[in-house]
Chains A and B, each alone.
Chain A
């Protein structure tokens, strides 16, 4: 059974950094594309970033490109999202999700809340 657990969220000030983690179990993490998706309070889903199974390809939403970085440790089955220069509009619940071949996201974690506020 696929299990994804995010951690690392919290309250931070604008301009600071935060690193989120997503611990994966129940599947072969090292062969799966992984994604980060966020949801601002009361808003819809916004895709943030993806990383190929081997880290060879990464892509980002325009809203975070140049500030956020996605990486993974396949030896530990952990996905990361390093968020720099945080802004109030980055406030959201951040979910990690497993990507499938057709582009669907078939398993999601429970999310971790990031609040950017002074």
Chain B
């Protein structure tokens, strides 16, 4: 089955840029989505279709994708950005959603 791999943790100083990666075989051929989840809260979609931002999500959040890696980039990181982040895609061959294991962002 398809697997998405994320680093367990990323640390960044306030005001700097954080990059969270998501690796998967031929991920460049799929649409990747990113979610932010703060403790005790439901996940929130922050990036969809690799690089689009839902309304209300700050421009500091951006997404990109290469052949085998998708990346969520958060610029000018704030303390309030501290959360778990998950990548996700829909595997069209099985018609199932796949989540990465999640990355804890520490500011």
Besides A44-B84, A44-B102, 10 more A-B contacts (Cβ < 8 Å) are A44-B86, A57-B95, A59-B96, A95-B42, A104-B88, A105-B33, A105-B35, A106-B45, A106-B54, A107-B45
Contact A35 B97 (CB under 8 A): yes
Chain B residues contacting A57 (CB-CB under 8 Å) are 95
State whether the Cβ of A76 lies closer than 8 Å to any Cβ in chain B: no
- The reply to whether A103 and B42 form a contact with Cβ atoms under 8 Å apart is no
A108-B43 contact in complex given A46-B99, A59-B95, A102-B31, C-beta closer than 8 Å: yes
Chain B residues touching A, range: 20 to 34
Q: Known A35-B97, A44-B86, A102-B49; judge A95-B33 contact (CB<8 A).
A: no
Chain B: minimal CB distance from A48 (Å) = 9
A13 within 8 A of B: no
Count of interface residues, chain A, beta-carbon cutoff 8 Å: 23
Q: B84: nearest residue on chain A (CB-CB)?
A: A44
- Structural contact, A100 and B95, CB atoms closer than 8 A: no
CB atoms of A104 and B48 under 8 A apart: yes
* A45 sits at the interface (CB 8 A): yes
Docked pose: A39 CA to B25 CA in angstroms: 25
Q: B42–A104 contact, CB under 8 A?
A: no
A95: chain B residues at CB < 8 Å are 42-43
Residue B90 at the chain A interface, CB threshold 8 Å: yes
Within 8 A of A (CB), among B33-57: 33, 35, 37, 42-45, 48-49, 54
